[in-house]
A = this chain, B = another copy of it.
């Protein structure tokens, strides 16, 4: 039972419909902000869990810094403020008063405060107090927080004025360590994205004009959505001494000389959930990778006669207990029994729309046969989509099966990515003709009309204008460079850099 809108018919509308039908999030009365609902937040909690573990395993500790940043802190780093000045929420008063029955701001602040769009400046301020000697380095920290960027065209998960993220911030005694850290965390992002989210990514460096404001180098992971557009799924910045200089983070080095420290920062956000949707969901709704599904298995009891209720419930309770003792992805399996007072067919469809990896329907006849009816979400519309299973067999293999389903999701997305990076476009004319097309849904196993092009770029700043006029972007300069020489796809000039061109979210 496909949703009202299919991917082919209207991809952006399909996206909104998936979010809404899966009850993951909705627009709020607070302009440009979203309400993240239980299923959406549950996915975020799973992503947090996996990411947090890796962040801690790589030696970082969680801190929490104020969300209000004094305006003057932004005065210090010119590029940084330029990058964010147009989208800042500014707190100017600390009180409301009632004037003639109307509430008005009162008690103006001496210095306006900015609600953090990112925390480099306020954290650098703390670093400047903490760092005295090379013995204090490195400092490796992370925070989970909300941030604000005043988006004018908000879109659930992808672009909202407030969003949730983690931001890592580190200080090092030399450039190499800071750069290594930047790349280490990019690798963590790649790993989590590919292994927990089943979302394959390209890794590389951003071109100069796409860098984080204030960074020396920005590295990124880029994923391909089902319409061939790119989604920047995470970034990691080598900040050099820029913020150290503006915030005065100095230390005495081993030669007893004062030196500015080197910093890095890196982040991923609730935007990842938008990526997961556009990478995996289908015309029946959301599809959640088992590793990050709030519930991996949902059991729906089926009975018409009240006298069957007890029998079915007892059987399910026992099954649930057995399932909860199984592990998958190194953790206990997450099982939900949906015993709401609602028609079972509606309940099953709700969980399919939400993308629960497995739905088990169990009625009196299944109880008699020690069985169940298994629906695997990713095989929903195939002959194998519904299977009558023996319960013991199901329980014994379920942990491994969930991991297999995850792997199959990854392989499918990986195939789409690989099939849709064009490398055979070598002239500006062919390139322009290719991107004259609009993005549309790419059918599984086929090549889309428009997706990624891997080709040469001369690096001239003038190319920025050409990109803008074509509404495309350079997603990254991949780490794996060919070293060959060819024609820049924008200018026709001789060029050696390989880059990924695409439209993007």
Q: Interface of A with B (CB < 8 Å)?
A: 28-31, 33-38, 41-42, 44-45, 61-71, 73-75, 81, 85-98, 102-103, 105, 112-115, 122, 125-126, 141, 145-146, 148, 150, 161-162, 164
The smallest C-beta distance from A53 to any residue of chain B, in angstroms, reads 12
A34: B residues at CB distance < 8 A: 66
Listed residue (A64, A115, A146, A148) with the most chain B CB atoms within 10 angstroms of its CB:
A64
Cα-based distance from A31 to B112 in the complex (angstroms)? 11
Q: Which of B63, B94, B98, B150 contacts A89 (CB 8 A)?
A: B94
Q: Which of B37, B65, B86, B96 contacts A85 (CB 8 A)?
A: B96
Q: Are A90 and B92 in contact (CB under 8 A)?
A: yes
Task: Given A41-B63, A90-B96, A97-B85, check contact A68 B33 (CB 8 Å).
Answer: yes
Task: Given A113-B30, A114-B96, check contact A62 B42 (CB 8 Å).
Answer: yes
Cα-based distance from A141 to B38 in the complex (angstroms)? 8
Q: Which of B35, B102, B122, B164 contacts A28 (CB 8 A)?
A: B122
Cα-based distance from A86 to B94 in the complex (angstroms)? 7
Q: Which of B86, B91, B125, B150 contacts A29 (CB 8 A)?
A: B125
The smallest C-beta distance from A103 to any residue of chain B, in angstroms, reads 6
Other A-B contacts than A28-B122, A66-B162, 8 sampled, CB-CB below 8 A, are A28-B125, A30-B66, A38-B62, A41-B63, A68-B162, A91-B115, A93-B112, A95-B150
Q: Are B97 and A113 in contact (CB under 8 A)?
A: no
Q: Are A91 and B94 in contact (CB under 8 A)?
A: no
Nearest B-chain residue to A294, judged by Cβ: B61
The smallest C-beta distance from A244 to any residue of chain B, in angstroms, reads 16
Q: Which of B62, B115, B150 contacts A115 (CB 8 A)?
A: B115
Q: Which of B31, B69, B74, B87 contacts A95 (CB 8 A)?
A: B87
A90: B residues at CB distance < 8 A: 91-96, 105
A103: B residues at CB distance < 8 A: 71, 74-75, 81, 85
The smallest C-beta distance from A91 to any residue of chain B, in angstroms, reads 5
Q: Are B95 and A35 in contact (CB under 8 A)?
A: no
A38: B residues at CB distance < 8 A: 61-63, 141
Cα-based distance from A164 to B143 in the complex (angstroms)? 13
Nearest B-chain residue to A143, judged by Cβ: B41
A145: B residues at CB distance < 8 A: 146
Q: Are A126 and B95 in contact (CB under 8 A)?
A: no
Q: Are B42 and A68 in contact (CB under 8 A)?
A: no
Task: Given A70-B29, A93-B90, check contact A105 B113 (CB 8 Å).
Answer: no
Nearest B-chain residue to A114, judged by Cβ: B96
Listed residue (A35, A92, A95) with the most chain B CB atoms within 10 angstroms of its CB:
A35
Q: Are B29 and A41 in contact (CB under 8 A)?
A: no
The smallest C-beta distance from A485 to any residue of chain B, in angstroms, reads 42
A102: B residues at CB distance < 8 A: 75
Q: Are A85 and B98 in contact (CB under 8 A)?
A: yes
The smallest C-beta distance from A204 to any residue of chain B, in angstroms, reads 32
A92: B residues at CB distance < 8 A: 90-93, 105
Cα-based distance from A62 to B70 in the complex (angstroms)? 31
Q: Are B97 and A88 in contact (CB under 8 A)?
A: no
Task: Given A68-B162, A89-B94, A94-B87, check contact A63 B35 (CB 8 Å).
Answer: yes
Q: Are A89 and B89 in contact (CB under 8 A)?
A: no
The smallest C-beta distance from A457 to any residue of chain B, in angstroms, reads 32
A98: B residues at CB distance < 8 A: 81, 85
Cα-based distance from A112 to B416 in the complex (angstroms)? 46
Q: Are B88 and A113 in contact (CB under 8 A)?
A: no
A30: B residues at CB distance < 8 A: 66, 68-70, 113, 122
Listed residue (A81, A92, A164) with the most chain B CB atoms within 10 angstroms of its CB:
A92
